[in-house]
Structure 1
Amino acid sequence: MANHDVEVNKDGTIRGLSNLAVQMIAFGGSIGTGLFLGAGSTIHRTGPSILLVYLIIGGFFFLMMRAIGEMMYADPEQHTFVSFIGKYVSPRLGYFAAWSYWLELVLAGMAELTAISTYLKFWFPTIPAWLTQIAFLLILTAVNMAMVSSFGRSETFLSGIKILAILVLIALGIYLVTIGHKNPAGTQASWGNIVNGFSFFPNGTHQFINAFPMVFFAFQGMEFVGITTAETKQPRKVLPRAVNQIIGRILLFYIGSLLIIMAITPWQSLNPNESPFVQIFKLAGLPGAAQIINLVVIAAACSTLNSAIFSTGRHLYQLAEESPSKGMTFFTKVSKNGIPITSVLFSAFIMVLAPIISSFNSLGAAFSFIASVSSDIYILVCILTMVAHYKYRHSADFKPDGFKMPRYRWSNPLTIAFFLAIFASLFFNASSILPAVGALIWAVGFNILLAYRQKKLTVADSQDSL
């Protein structure tokens, strides 16, 4: 029997994502493996000041999401917010941003594949990394090839695991602080651990600055909710709710987790090379702490990979729809169940490069390099997105009664300036200079090639008209 409640878009895609699914995708996009694994390193760099870093970056991400939300609210038929760059900034920069963001998403998916194989070696050290990567890629691609509602349900489940782990940590931490629990080292759990011997820059301003790009990467993926709009039921009702809850998620999941971690044990005693979640569960005497957190980070990586496959497919599909090239029509095919099938399959196929990279390099080096390049390209796209929003506000498309970004006249330029500062900070760390230079080379080279190609086409057109 046909489901008459299903809304089919003009292009054949289906609005099958429920309010709950979008909320959980928003949750999942806000919480990556960076919190579970990378928080220890950032705490080690800056101490309690890391709370300020998360608050600042979280605040600017919220502003960016409000900008994206405003544009998507005005035009909920778009499959990706990046389309607005070509629409409101320039076609050339839009083309650059479109391919750059698709590449960033593919790299993010490859990074998560590498991460999954790394985490699985904790339990299965003899299984080849390439085998587990291909297996997980096939499974999650199959999920994405089903109805869009299947993707929504899978993200609800995976995000639920991450949320549960954080809530357990927070509840456990509050309990340990309340009873004044003493760990094996003799340290007592107390809120005083956060402020005792406080120094704003305990390891110098350089380490404080270096923490910003690390935390920035932890928030990467929050914008995934902006790619679900075209396949969401009642998008103008669901989207504002999902975006506005971002601040609450940041305060609860990031700030709450970090506060608890530093309250249970002095931050100086945390091992920067081990998950702080594992360390806290061990201090609480929970058996199998490492196994529990390993399961959680695998779920987190699967969630990000799942969203990356979904997002790359929709993004490539939108890019093909807007491209005048006949060769791109191959990627506009939509299956009977509303999935941009060729775009999803092609994007997933490119991610197979991750197992190839892993077979020639150490897993850690591959993950680090891919993540760094991915983050740098992503920053450039974020900047262009904010420029697009500013121009949207001055266009005829602006909806005065829409989901408006607050105080955009100053909040938009301030966000752009902050993202530029994040990118500039990459050049003050020896380990991030090379990827940053690579991102610049990509940006400049891509636009030069586009300009050259456009010039050739213009000359050819003028000769044909003679």
Structure 2
Amino acid sequence: MEQTTEGNRGLQNRHIQLIAIAGTIGTGLFLGAGKTIRMTGPSIIFAYIIIGIAMFFFLRTIGEMLYQDPSQHSFLNFVTKYAGTRIGYFTQWSYWLVLVFVCISELTAIGTYVQFWLPQIPLWLIEVVMLALLFSLNTLNARFFGETEFWFAIIKVAAILGMIVTAIILMISQFSYTTTIHHATIHGTVSFANILNGFQLFPRGVWNFIGALQMVMFAFTSMEFIGMTAAETVNPRKTLPRAINQIPIRILIFYVGALLAIMAIFDWNNVPADKSPFVMVFQLIGIKWAAALVNFVVLTSAGSALNSSLFSATRNMYALAKQHDRGGLTAFTKLSRHGIPLNALYLAGALALFAPILTLIPQIKNAFDFAASCTTNLFLIVYFITVFSFWKYRKSSDFDPNGFLTPKAKITVPLVVLVFAIVFISLFFNSETLYPAIGAVVWTVLFGLFSYFKKINPENLS
């Protein structure tokens, strides 16, 4: 499945490299960390390590296939090639739907951040305005997109490194503070002892630990973009292994490092579940202007994710329309003078408007959690199919025993499936994620049957 359009040729190597680094940092960390810390305490570190290891080996399976055939611009092409055209058709459309849900979840996150400054403005109105702004940016050429993402990535990386350095300085100086959280006065001292004092592996119970894996998983979703962007460079067989093998280091620095910094600054029992801990950290130590600055940083992170998701959803719809241009999708193949498939962008933008709709539904207590659950569910389904395609590749004549092999694949890949399965099953036992989980199953069954019985020309999916 071709991911690019005629206009998507403006990305330079510096764009790709920094976007790949920042691609390991998701909104799930910035906004969801508070909830997961509250649920599991310091053991959230282990949750991020477990999911991080699983994602690393999963990306190695994608990297192994891309290394063998770097002419493919998307891992979805391997699904069609090794699992069959019908499964490929199902996966390509499911992945496009995933990207739409990413747009929705990131838009809800943006609304939450903007309300930090404008609490009197309705959330749905903020979401509509921000969507219109980023929609406008996506009507420009691909080079402008790359430049925007480049600076978004710099801000995002600098924010986490700044958080870690701040925690180290405050620990060395044994900084003490007094603040108010939810009408309660809190006294604290920044110390690594805040993490270790009274440590319990499952302070809120084993089930809360398992339940937190869903939000952690959401923080890692879309990481497959790293392999796809590396595959677009001049020498993919050189850049691809390096980009994927650096992921464990990035996880330790950005995820584990940031979480340790947060929990060293204040007792994890005091972390608000409904706010970004990155913002709360600076509020807790009394630097009010820094809290606004960090809120701006996490806002740009969510804006970056929404910008990328709109870009990707638009290009995926364009590619799907090109494959099926004899049907009713021809309108989505038309390009603007800047090489942008505007009709595909209009569709992605229209579907993203479900974010303010979710905000207005009283039965949905947390629109971000709901949209993030939908995103995670569909990503996991696509990931399961990708792993299945990897095994089919391993049994094919294309398998290169001297390539960029997945380490101990017979052991590590089943462990990846096990971790993903635990996350997916856990969604059915949480009231906030139950309906999205059921929806993912309904989609898989109904659209899976549709894909099975639909007449598909294999040449369209090549």
Q: Give the TM-score normalised by the residue count of structure 1.
A: 0.87
Measured in 2, the distance between the counterparts of 1:427 and 1:273 equals 22
Whether the 8 Å contact between 1:54 and 1:215 is mirrored in structure 2 is yes
Alignment of 1:45-444 (within 5 A): 45-127=39-121, 129-184=123-178, 185-228=186-229, 232-323=233-324, 325-334=326-335, 337-358=338-359, 365-444=366-445
Measured in 2, the distance between the counterparts of 1:207 and 1:11 equals 44
Tell me which residue corresponds to 1:36: 30
Tell me the CA shift for residue 267 of structure 1: 1.9
Tell me the CA shift for residue 278 of structure 1: 2.6
SS at match of 1:30: coil
Measured in 2, the distance between the counterparts of 1:395 and 1:333 equals 37
Measured in 2, the distance between the counterparts of 1:431 and 1:130 equals 20
Tell me the CA shift for residue 330 of structure 1: 3.8
Whether the 8 Å contact between 2:36 and 2:215 is mirrored in structure 1 is yes
Tell me which residue corresponds to 1:447: 448
Tell me the CA shift for residue 329 of structure 1: 4.1
Change over 3 Å in CA distance of 1:89–1:328 after alignment to 2: same
Change over 3 Å in CA distance of 1:141–1:241 after alignment to 2: farther
Tell me the CA shift for residue 97 of structure 1: 1.4
Whether the 8 Å contact between 1:17 and 1:232 is mirrored in structure 2 is no
Tell me the CA shift for residue 145 of structure 1: 3.4
Tell me the CA shift for residue 305 of structure 1: 0.3
* CA RMSD, 1 decimal: 2.8
Measured in 1, the distance between the counterparts of 2:219 and 2:311 equals 20
Q: Is there any run of 5+ residues in structure 1 with no aligned partner, and where?
A: 1-8, 458-466
Tell me the CA shift for residue 182 of structure 1: 1.9
AA of the residue aligned to 2:84: S
Tell me which residue corresponds to 1:4: none
State the percentage of identical aligned residues. 44
Tell me the CA shift for residue 20 of structure 1: 2.3
Change over 3 Å in CA distance of 1:438–1:202 after alignment to 2: same
Measured in 2, the distance between the counterparts of 1:406 and 1:412 equals 9
Measured in 2, the distance between the counterparts of 1:142 and 1:431 equals 33
AA of the residue aligned to 2:431: A
AA of the residue aligned to 1:297: V
Tell me the CA shift for residue 322 of structure 1: 3.7
Measured in 2, the distance between the counterparts of 1:427 and 1:359 equals 24
The worse-fitting range, judged by mean Cα deviation, of 50-59 and 107-116 is: 107-116
Tell me the CA shift for residue 47 of structure 1: 1.5
AA of the residue aligned to 2:175: H
Whether the 8 Å contact between 2:87 and 2:451 is mirrored in structure 1 is no
For residues 159-206 of structure 1, the C-alpha deviation after alignment (integer angstroms, 9 at most, x for no partner) is 221211111110010011112222225433222222121111111111
Measured in 1, the distance between the counterparts of 2:175 and 2:223 equals 35
AA of the residue aligned to 2:117: W
AA of the residue aligned to 1:179: S
Whether the 8 Å contact between 1:69 and 1:240 is mirrored in structure 2 is yes
Tell me the CA shift for residue 299 of structure 1: 0.7
AA of the residue aligned to 1:311: S
Whether the 8 Å contact between 2:373 and 2:433 is mirrored in structure 1 is yes
Tell me which residue corresponds to 1:22: 16
For residues 310-351 of structure 1, the C-alpha deviation after alignment (integer angstroms, 9 at most, x for no partner) is 211222233334447533444344556554454334323332
SS at match of 1:430: coil
For residues 413-446 of structure 1, the C-alpha deviation after alignment (integer angstroms, 9 at most, x for no partner) is 2212221221112122232222211111110111
Tell me the CA shift for residue 52 of structure 1: 0.7
For residues 70-114 of structure 1, the C-alpha deviation after alignment (integer angstroms, 9 at most, x for no partner) is 323333444432232122112222211111111111011022222
Change over 3 Å in CA distance of 1:84–1:293 after alignment to 2: same
